[in-house]
Amino acid sequence: MTHEHVIRFKDKHDLDVYAYDASDVVIRYATLFMGFYGRDLETDPRDLAPGKKPRDEEHQKARMGIFPIFGGSVRLSWHDLRDNFIEYTFSFDEIFPDRIIPHPKELDDRIIWENPFFLSRTPGIILEIINRTLNIYTIVDIGLLVLGTNDEVECLTHRAKIFTREF
């Protein structure tokens, strides 16, 4: 029987939040309390995040600190394009019950499984708000043997959508 390889969240993860066509975005998670695209005062016009462009995903990284797995509830709130208030609370344990990070199965023979450093440098979670939609992605760096060599290594950054919810 063939051994099935998996990549799992272990003890830490990175995180980032990206907003498009939304304002007054606030995240509360573990030790993080952060807001952006907000009003300074109630009388100020809102600072609306621009719409998502086709190349925006290429620049999305998970770079807000290293958090313990999984650091409690995630509380998000924001205003959609029409200024309606949206609030959602969830746990990463609900989204990732088995803590598996997807990877391209066709690369299993090239992944350096025996060296954890090359397998997954602090995996990340990306929260993406687009108007009335929340998308959750994983992002992980995977070390691969270069085809035709025995010791040359290349790094693949793999991003996968795990969850979507419309509000």
- Report whether pLDDT(153) > 80: yes
- Report whether pLDDT(143) > 90: no
- Report whether pLDDT(128) > 70: yes
- Report whether pLDDT(131) > 80: yes
Residue carrying structure tokens 């998670």: 29
Give the integer Cα–Cα distance in Å for 109 and 90: 36
Give the integer Cα–Cα distance in Å for 14 and 19: 17
pLDDT attached to residue 1: 40
pLDDT in tens, 52-97: 999 999 889 998 888 988 989 999 999 999 999 999 999 999 999 9
pLDDT attached to residue 137: 97
pLDDT grade for 46, boundaries at 50, 70 and 90: confident
Contact 166, 133 (CB under 8 A): yes
- The CA-based angle 24-25-30, given to 5 degrees, is 140
Report DSSP state, residue 49.
P
Average pLDDT over every residue of 147-158: 85
- Report whether pLDDT(41) > 70: no
The dihedrals phi and psi of 114, each to the nearest 5 degrees, come to -80, -10
Which of 137, 136, 143 has its CA nearest to residue 157?
143
Per-residue b or e along 138-157, where b marks 16 or more CB atoms closer than 10 Å to that residue's CB? bbbbbbbbeeeeeeeeeeee
* Beta-strand pair 12-20/121-130: parallel
**Tally of CB atoms within 10 A around 124:** 24
The dihedrals phi and psi of 16, each to the nearest 5 degrees, come to -155, 160
Contact 140, 158 (CB under 8 A): yes
| CA count, 13 A, side-chain hemisphere, 62 | 24
